[in-house]
Amino acid sequence: MNILLTNHGLLGPGGTEKWTYYTARELSRIGHDVEVFTFRDGLAGTALKEFCKVTTETPTGDYDVIYSNHNTCLSQVQALGPPVIHTCHGPSNRLEVPVLGAWRYVGVSEEVVEGAMDHGIPMRLITNGVDLEEFCPQETPSGPPRVLSMCKSVATSWMLQDACAELGWPYDWVHYTTKPRWEIATLMKEADIIVGCGRTAIEGLACGKEVLVFDGRTDEPMADGWVTEENVELLRRKNFSCRTNEYWWNVPSLTRTLQQYEPGNWSRAWAKENADISLKAQEYMKLYEEFTIGC
């Protein structure tokens, strides 16, 4: 099959960029010809070009199905002819506001699906998936816990740095614009604690790490706290976004929370059951099959 994916930008290792990369790679791996359209090429686009075509020109090809992200892209592809299956990744970003023109709509969290239903747009739920071979457990050396920040807020990363300095814990950070790195799985496997939100939480769980949901998505840093076997499904309802518990932390409270670190052994099994990218790709292909049956 000829498949087109879209994403507004492919500049760095953001959530939708990773979704596009891993979905495209899985579809390519199982034998489909994949092309990706974007308005802004960059680091993520370079990674995609290893196995598929990336274009910034308005698509004109003969596609069997289009999997689109972002309303700006949907307006570019909705008249091409094949069924468009459009995914919304958040509840409020202006690029994520669903617009008419797709055959089916998908939300990556229950929060997104319920919000769209309130506006009269029915959505299927397909949560985020990760490559379980790339994001996998690796033992770390003994010693103080190693902390990796994947926060989008630089100020939040500074808070973590201060807290780790007070505790004497090793600390490293990656930032999607000021300190980007595409091959993040290696860094995650070398850490004990992963801090961030969204896809970062799922990737960390797949690596068997302890995950602290904490970032600066608003004017002030906000957190959901530690992801545990007991609360993981609750936090996933809002895609590990810091919007569930909405804890407001300063450096002392963050330091106290880090001191609660306790290694577990449940998260890898959860990821295998709930976040396998191969199973997520199958769910998207089943949506296309529904279209062909309807025709």
Tell me, what's the pLDDT at 134? Answer: 97
Please count the other Cβ atoms lying within 10 Å of the Cβ belonging to residue 17. 26
Topology alike, domains 2-129+276-294 and 147-274: yes
For 178, the token pair is 């000021």
Residue whose tokens read 């390519």:
28
For 289, the token pair is 């099959």
Tell me, what's the pLDDT at 218? Answer: 61
What SS3 state is found at 195?
strand
Q: How do 104-107 and 124-125 pair as beta strands?
A: parallel
For 9, the token pair is 């930008």
For 150, the token pair is 């994947």
Tell me, what's the pLDDT at 96? Answer: 94
Q: What percent of the chain has pLDDT over 70?
A: 99
Residue whose tokens read 């990369």:
21
Give the chain's mean pLDDT: 94
pLDDT digits (tens, 9 = 90+) for 219-269: 678 999 999 999 999 999 999 999 999 999 999 999 999 999 999 999 999
pLDDT digits (tens, 9 = 90+) for 137-155: 998 889 999 999 999 888 8
Contact 208, 267 (CB under 8 A): yes
User: Which whole-number Å values give the CA distances from 238 to 133, 145, 248, 285, in the listed order?
Assistant: 25, 28, 17, 24
Mind giving me the DSSP string for 3-19? EEEE-SB-SSS-HHHHH
Is the pLDDT score of 64 beyond 90? yes
Phi/psi for 9 (5° steps) reads -135, 155
Is the pLDDT score of 13 beyond 70? yes
Tell me, what's the pLDDT at 291? Answer: 84
Q: How confident is the model at residue 175 (pLDDT cuts 50, 70, 90)?
A: confident
Is CATH 3.40.50.300 what the domain over 2-129+276-294 is classified as, yes or no? no
Q: How far apart are CA 172 and CA 244, in angstroms?
A: 26
Which of residues 224 and 183 earns the better pLDDT score?
A: 224
Tell me, what's the pLDDT at 148? Answer: 97
Q: How far apart are CA 85 and CA 69, in angstroms?
A: 9
pLDDT digits (tens, 9 = 90+) for 186-215: 999 999 999 999 999 999 999 999 999 999
Q: What percent of the chain has pLDDT over 90?
A: 86
Mean pLDDT (whole number) for 282-293: 93
Is CATH 3.30.70 what the domain over 147-274 is classified as, yes or no? no
Domain boundaries, the chain: 2-129+276-294, 147-274
